[in-house]
């Protein structure tokens, strides 16, 4: 199945292109980028058989030659490009966030349903090694009844990098709430189901910054679990990636999944080295004040996402992440933005 990739920046070059080419049944056919240097990088990485074009119009002009479009361009372009792909009769994968609003996400989902086409969102962090481990501990009942879920994506970037992600223009859909928050909220909803209330604090800490770079979101899920989610570019000392408190035990895990670093360094799934694994010294711990024991971290598995996409395209079954799930995440993000702006807790209605 031939794949067209729109965008060859960080998301396109580090995540999507390598994972697509590592997936049995998928072939990277076309890359869209207006940057001549990036076009050359893509051709060097994926061979003479790869077509590179400067504009999405050129890709859609040959829609009949493609079986899937992946949209990894700036956030503001996600909705119009996804709509064009669906109108052209093409299944679509969109990098997160799918849209700026849940209403836009629902509209795209309805369009995909009406046309009988796949529409999925790239929430790769569901296949992080530590998240997979937390999921397994919950499934095994090792924590008892979970009462509080703490999750962090923190960085130390005291100086701005520049670019649209740090823009204060709402049209750019930038800032950490919609960037890292898309992952954190998706993970919390995946584990504990819909949120009933949302409270958030969003700050702009760095000199010259225009978008939120230090944000906290608190969810109360309908089942009573409380999720506390931190995302920050201003953390000179990093907190635990996960701290999950249950009635029987707690799980604490530091450090980040190794897959992004491996992809950035040029490693690829299927190379001789094991994929997504980490040394025992980095494992998390399960237990209480009476004693703890290390818990082997399950391997991370980003390749599973596109393997699931390939299966869904072949069989017509649902994709690994649905557009409706993305819309649920966006409802929480919108509520968080309202909460932070107005200084109040937002109550979500059941859908």
- Domain boundaries, given as residue ranges, for the chain: 2-124+306-318, 125-301+331-347
Kindly report, residue by residue over 71-93, the tens digit of the pLDDT: 999 999 999 999 999 999 999 99
- How far, in Å, CA of 336 to CA of 188, rounded? 14
Residues 6+ apart with CB under 8 A from 83: 108, 111
- How far, in Å, CA of 93 to CA of 63, rounded? 15
CATH architecture under which domain 2-124+306-318 falls: 3-Layer(aba) Sandwich (3.40)
Question: Token match 């770079």: residue?
Answer: 213
pLDDT score of 50: 96
pLDDT score of 325: 98
Separation of first and last alpha carbons in the chain: 35
With 90 as the cut, is the pLDDT of residue 4 above it? yes
Pick the CATH number of 125-301+331-347 from 3.40.50.10540, 3.30.360.10, 3.30.420.10, 3.20.20.20: 3.30.360.10
| Cis peptide preceding 211, ω within 30 of 0 | no
pLDDT band of 161, cuts 50, 70, 90: confident
User: In terms of DSSP H, where are the helices of the chain?
Assistant: 10, 17-21, 36-46, 56-60, 78-87, 102-115, 129-140, 180-192, 259-264, 303-315, 323-342
200, 215 contact by CB (below 8 A): yes
* Number of residues that make up the chain: 351
Give the pTM.
0.95
Q: How many CB atoms lie within 10 A of CB 329?
A: 29
156, 203 contact by CB (below 8 A): no
């Amino acid at each position: 199945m031939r794949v067209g990739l729109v965008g060859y920046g960080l998301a396109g070059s580090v995540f999507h292109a390598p994972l697509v080419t590592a997936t049995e049944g998928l072939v990277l056919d076309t890359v869209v980028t207006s940057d001549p240097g990036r076009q050359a990088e893509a051709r060097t990485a994926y061979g003479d058989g790869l077509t590179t074009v400067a504009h999405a119009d050129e890709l859609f002009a040959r829609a009949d030659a493609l079986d899937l479009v992946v949209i990894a361009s700036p956030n503001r372009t996600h909705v119009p490009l996804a709509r064009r792909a669906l109108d052209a009769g093409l299944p679509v994968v969109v990098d997160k966030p799918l849209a700026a609003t849940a209403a836009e996400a629902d509209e795209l989902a309805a369009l995909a349903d009406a046309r009988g086409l796949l529409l999925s969102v790239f929430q790769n962090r569901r296949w992080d090694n530590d998240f997979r481990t937390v999921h397994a501990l919950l499934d095994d009942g090792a924590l008892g009844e979970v009462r509080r879920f703490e999750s962090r994506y923190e960085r130390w970037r005291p100086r701005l990098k520049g670019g649209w992600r740090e823009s204060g223009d709402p049209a750019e859909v930038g800032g950490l709430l919609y960037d890292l928050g898309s992952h954190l909220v998706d993970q919390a909803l995946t584990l504990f189901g819909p949120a009933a209330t949302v409270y958030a604090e969003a700050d702009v800490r760095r000199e010259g910054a225009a978008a939120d770079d230090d944000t906290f979101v608190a969810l109360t899920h309908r089942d009573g679990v409380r999720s506390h989610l931190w995302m920050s570019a201003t953390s000179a000392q990093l907190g635990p990636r996960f701290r999950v408190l249950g009635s029987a035990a707690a799980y604490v895990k530091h450090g980040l999944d190794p897959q992004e670093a491996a992809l950035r360094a040029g490693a690829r799934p299927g190379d001789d080295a094991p994929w997504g694994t980490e040394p025992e010294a980095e494992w998390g711990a399960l237990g209480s004040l009476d004693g703890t024991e290390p818990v082997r971290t399950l391997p991370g598995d980003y390749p599973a996402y596109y393997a699931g996409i390939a299966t869904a395209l072949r069989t017509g079954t649902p994709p690994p992440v649905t557009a409706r799930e993305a819309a649920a995440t966006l409802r929480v993000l919108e509520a968080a933005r309202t909460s932070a702006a107005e200084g109040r807790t937002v109550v979500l209605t059941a859908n």
